[in-house]
Amino acid sequence: MSTGSPAEWEAAVLVGGPADGQRMRVTDRPRTIQVTYPCELEAPSNGMRAQALHIYRRDLRVKSGPLRYGFDEASP
């Protein structure tokens, strides 16, 4: 995956779920976006961390910017 030059970046927006309305820039039109939120562990051991994972999938019907990524409720 390329890091992309500023000319290759496209505007995108997340729709639904916990990150609804968040805007970002992406390169290469990724099919999915992963959003994570840190979770607090009561007694973490060995540097353990936990994060809530939310998946957004690109709406392939959108052909021009901003790209839209809809929340996937079926993902973990």
**What pTM did the predictor assign?**
0.80
Tokens 């961390």 — which residue?
49
Report angle CA 45, 54, 63 to the nearest 5 degrees.
150
| Token duo for residue 20 | 């609804």
List the pLDDT tens digit at each of the 76 positions of the chain.
Answer: 456 566 689 999 999 999 999 999 999 999 999 999 999 999 989 999 999 999 999 999 988 789 999 999 987 6
Q: Tell me, letter by letter, the H, E, C secondary structure of the chain.
A: CCCCCHHHCEEEEEECCCCCCCEEEECCCCCEEEEEEEECCCCCCCCCCEEEEEEEEECCCCCCCCEEEEECCCCC
